[in-house]
Structure 1
Amino acid sequence: MLKKIALKRGSLAIIIFIILAITSALCYKESIGASFNKDYNTTLNQIIERKELRVGMLRSLTTLYIDYRNPNQAGGFEYELLKRFADSLELKLKITFASNLTELIEKSKQGKIDLIAAELKGYALDVDNFNTSAPFHQTTLQLVYRKGSIKPYSFDDIKGNLTIAKNSLQSYVLANIQPDFPQLSWNESEVLNQEELLKLVEDQDIDYTIASNRTTAIMQRIYPALTVAFDVVNNQPKTWYLPKSQDNSLLNQVNQFINKSLSDGTIKKLEYHYFNYMNKFDFVDTRAFLRAIEKSLPKYQAFFEQYAQVNDLDWKLLASMAYQESHWNPKAISSTGVRGIMMLTKSTAESLGVTNRLDAQQSINGGSTYLKSIINRMPKSIPKEERVWFALAAYNMGMGHLWDARTLASQLNKNPESWQDVRQILPLLSEEEYYSDLRYGFARGYQAVHFVDSIQKYYMSLVGYLIEKEYRQKYINEKANQVTSQ
């Protein structure tokens, strides 16, 4: 009897132990599952599951000019940096454009965008609700006035209408410096951005505005009368903004990407590509180019468009190249014997089937075909987006000298696949200590550098001019429709 009781108690104990073990295991599994789901359901993982990074940007010429590599698509320094970040996570980049910060912040609150690529410092109501990324670029704010007016050298000299965009970085800066200039006053526009305000300065509707050096440089290529009076703030760091309501998973990933892009030279190369042409501004040359766009370009634009399409080129880049060569003069002749709107040599023209170098259509056809053939000869090791710069240099100085420059770049521990590095090497081809050991010898490499830099400059002026022309025509049409409907 006692033995049976003991067996029953032992069986009961085993059963209880098994039940406890199962319960414990289930609880542990639930705990682990909850922990796993908590870690898995981060902001970053949600974005990765969605396969799309949603970014808010302000609609402006500075960030939206047409890029020669992607005709009729958005381009620009910050856009490309965002694209590379999205690519690093194998995500599609979706840009939501807005006309003002209020709209961007509202979309962020609604969860429609993951980060804001615009400056929020001047938006005092909401800026504290955002985390800032690591800085990836620096800008300078400048006071701008119109050429021909009296130049102010400081805020003490301001006599007239100074207008800036409301809630902008400019308003934040002016509020901070006003104690040093108690007489300083300004207006803040709720509807106009810094580019539109620069147009008002050009039109003499206002006397001054404050804009970033990059925006000013772009707008000067369209409105050359815009002139910088003085720098207001130097080396202003540029960052992206992420809602504090998010966890830090996306912020950490962004910062990791920015730090890597700074250390490996990615950002430096993008800055060179998009901003190098801005380093020098020539008022007389820019004004002459804009006049030529209006008077000369219409005669040949159809040819540029036709043969650029045949050779898979951007017609605006081809037109800019032709302007650098001949100022769109089909009868141009140089002392070295090159002729026509694309300044072809006799031997090159013959190889391309061009029978009359002074015929604009034949010259543009031949020049575009020749440029495309050079691009096709560029090594695949050169990044696709940089091959055109190498090709333009070769168009100017010959392929052999370009190969010499790449060889010399390797010898001097530079990257022969980087236009930025080779550009620095090209001027050395005119120095005996370098060219004497190269296969093709002496070359005026500095001329090739100037050639490419000038084409970049003219290209951006042409792009900006065409965008502005389209914008203004649209504005005129809208006004006309309003009058008609009244």
Structure 2
Amino acid sequence: MKKILFLFSIIILSCQTNTNTDKGADKNAEKFSRDLDKIKESGVLKALTVYSGTTYFLYKGRPMGFEYELLERLAEDLDVELEMIVAKDENRLIELLQDGEGDLLAYGYTITESRKKRINFTTPLYLSHQVLIQRKPESWRRMKLHEIKDYLVTNPIELIGDTISVKRNSSYASRVENLSNELGGKIFIDTLKGTLSTDKIIKKVADGDIKYTIADENIAFINSSYYPILDIGTSLSLSQRIGWAVRKRDTQLLATVNQWLENAKKTTDYHVIYNKYFKNKRLYKKRVKSDFYSINENKISPYDAMIKKNAALINWDWRLLASVTYQESQFQPQSNSWAGASGLMQIMPATARELGVTDPYNPEQSLKAGAIYLDQMMKSHENITDSIQRIKFALGSYNSGLYHVKDAQKLAEKQGLDPLVWDNNVELALLDLSFPEHYNKSFIKYGYVRGEEPFNYVRDIFKRYDHYRQFIEFK
């Protein structure tokens, strides 16, 4: 059975001043190691990344991203859980990897000689090249093509004496320095904070806040679909390899990830994922326009205000209640289940009547009833002192029924497990209640339960809650 570890604690890595550079080997590069054997022993793969509109983000309550989707599949194949660890400052990624904050640097990192002195890169995920991002004239739609071309920089040599805005220590900054040398003329660098995502920097060009920046062509392409005023046609580099990275000493992990990537890149699935994030202009524009896109707003759903109100009534983090709501209906108030449950919180008809619900499809009524029922389940497990474990018991009861959970507690105790701990104890007993040799025991009063449902239900809610806590502020 796959080892389950609920990842309740989230590490949002602070934005500190980075004293390291990408120039040369780091003296402390070898001070930490956590190779594949230790990762499997712990049951968790820790992936270091950053927020961006292609790498890792939240959209309509669901975590998404090119790196995120690949990492999910990698973790599943390794039979471990995935923990996403977000660095607020891109400049600190290598330092954080070397300090042991993550196992795998999973971000579209350009493979360079200076970086290879500090970390080991995986086999490339794809090739790209760097392009200049610049703004077309305001009246470009009324201009002829040659007039637009005359306005734009079309040859890198035209950049001599001008300024390009890029992040410190990025491959883009290195490219500007190399261009200056190659062209025999100075191109100045406007250094931007490492906390700014490439998407945000590109938006600054579109808004006219900065004149030029540089990005990988695939990222520039998908962003230009939303900002048609941008020109991305001037290449500044040859093709470059883009990869992930591990620590120098973690050779088992490197070999395994390399083999996995080689196999993955041969599949249709890999190319579908790539196209979703780097080629599909329609989906990208839809995301960017949405209020429920974490890059834009601190929102999860159209029902956030109602969720906050009802979460406060039962002293829950509203983001946890939002995760429950997504699990139940994906924020679709007209949802119906095969079992007869309906509405945002999928309340069963009998429960709805008890709680005074007159319209199960009314979001306000459904959320209030769901919160009240969850609170009832919490009170039914008052003997569980650990607050997180108690919430998990309440969620399991909400999903499968209180008395099935009580049966599972009895079975857990008979099996030598702790009846007051959900993780790896009562949840396992619930799984056993799917089999006649267990649910037919004399002390089991309520018989068969499809234990996999509450087992996965609680796990999925907390995993999603972890994502919500990374993207969405509690306010």
Please classify the TM superposition score into its range, dividing by the shorter chain length: 0.3 to 0.5
TM-score by structure 1 length?
0.47
Answer 1 or 2: which has greater helix percent: 1
Higher gyration radius (CA)? 1
Output the TM-score relative to the length of structure 2: 0.48
Highest RCO, 1 vs 2 (Cα 8 Å, sep ≥ 6) = 2
